[in-house]
Structure 1
């Protein structure tokens, strides 16, 4: 009865694969949580999903997630992913609180956010060099921090990059907020 033996082994293998998939799905992972207990997902360098709400950080514009930059010696690096990591590190400090000021054309809340030890997440990301100051409506609110980051060569300022608004214009996506 080689057919039955093969089916039994195959069935056991399928069961093992399913069990491993379930365990991988259920494994505990570090979850980012807002001060009100909502789960937080950092989407990119300036956008958060807090529960079901999408929040865009006010007064700055971070490089896009899939954007790359160039170091002063010409090497390309994934600055958009590093910008997201910088925001994740801030959110991981705990105590995330966001105060919505308005909404953008995509329906996202535009908010000023703070975390434990940092009163303005946007200002901190600009100072770290992961974002440029302002947006098209409020350009320059963190201009001094941007200048300091640029002069120190921090974050995106360690080489060259396309400004986020210019990069988005050159890489249009219909689904991009």
Structure 2
């Protein structure tokens, strides 16, 4: 009997170091990541089962114009849940030390809300909970689904491959956070920067010895005299 009781206690004990249930006011980091200010401190949360575009990731509208849909998605999430109080339940902890959790705002599942509105995608590799919500958003053309874009995990994979130099030995940024390529045209000398996800990004090589460089933000690139690539 003692052994059985001990097993029951072990089964219901929380995972060490991870808060199982918590809540607090939200500060949005990006479309699927935010800080929750609890009574015991700040918890960095990665929403379970959803995947939003990265800051700086581009989408293409019906006119062929590219725009920063990652920042847009983060702003939309911020407008909905920023500075509001949520309750969360921990699922696990990821390799970056973030608490992966399901969260609710006034009883509404935050992940479901974001996927239904087309602000994030269902992260089916980890959960099928929002599969139908994403399909509904696609059919209705809501949010991101009114545009063309790469799934965030594909975008991240492409950026990692580019930063690693790829099989062809492409140049890579000294700072992993600086992923914008400042290229100088060989015909005319035009200074053009390419964002991750743009059509020519992967095949653009940076030659520092010829004045080309990496930028950490579009503001920095424009201030240095570069203009954004059209595609």
Do these two structures clear the TM 0.5 threshold for a shared fold by scoring above it? yes
Q: Which has the higher contact order (CA 8 A, sep 6+)?
A: 1
| SS across alignment from 2:35 | strand
Q: State the 4+ residue runs in structure 1 displaced beyond 6 angstroms.
A: none
Give, in whole Å, the separation in 2 of the partners of 1:75 and 1:169.
23
Matches within 5 A, 1:1-177: 38=24, 40-51=26-37, 52-92=42-82, 94-116=84-106, 119-138=108-127, 140-172=128-160
| TM-score for both structures, normalised by structure 1 | 0.70
Give, in whole Å, the separation in 2 of the partners of 1:64 and 1:135.
17
Deviations 1:100-144 (A, max 9, x none): 11111111100111112x521001100010111124222x32111
Question: Structure 2 stretches of 5 or more lacking a match?
Answer: 1-21, 164-175, 178-231
| SS across alignment from 1:148 | helix
The Cα shift of 1:92 comes to 3.8
Question: Structure 1 stretches of 5 or more lacking a match?
Answer: 1-34
8 Å contact kept, 1:93–1:115: no
| SS across alignment from 2:138 | helix
Considering only aligned residues, what root-mean-square deviation do their CA atoms show, in Å? 2.1
Give, in whole Å, the separation in 2 of the partners of 1:74 and 1:107.
38
Give, in whole Å, the separation in 1 of the partners of 2:68 and 2:130.
24
Give, in whole Å, the separation in 1 of the partners of 2:53 and 2:67.
12
8 Å contact kept, 1:90–1:121: no
Give, in whole Å, the separation in 1 of the partners of 2:156 and 2:112.
22
Give, in whole Å, the separation in 2 of the partners of 1:57 and 1:123.
10
Count how many residue pairs are aligned between Structure 1 and Structure 2.
138
Give, in whole Å, the separation in 2 of the partners of 1:61 and 1:98.
17
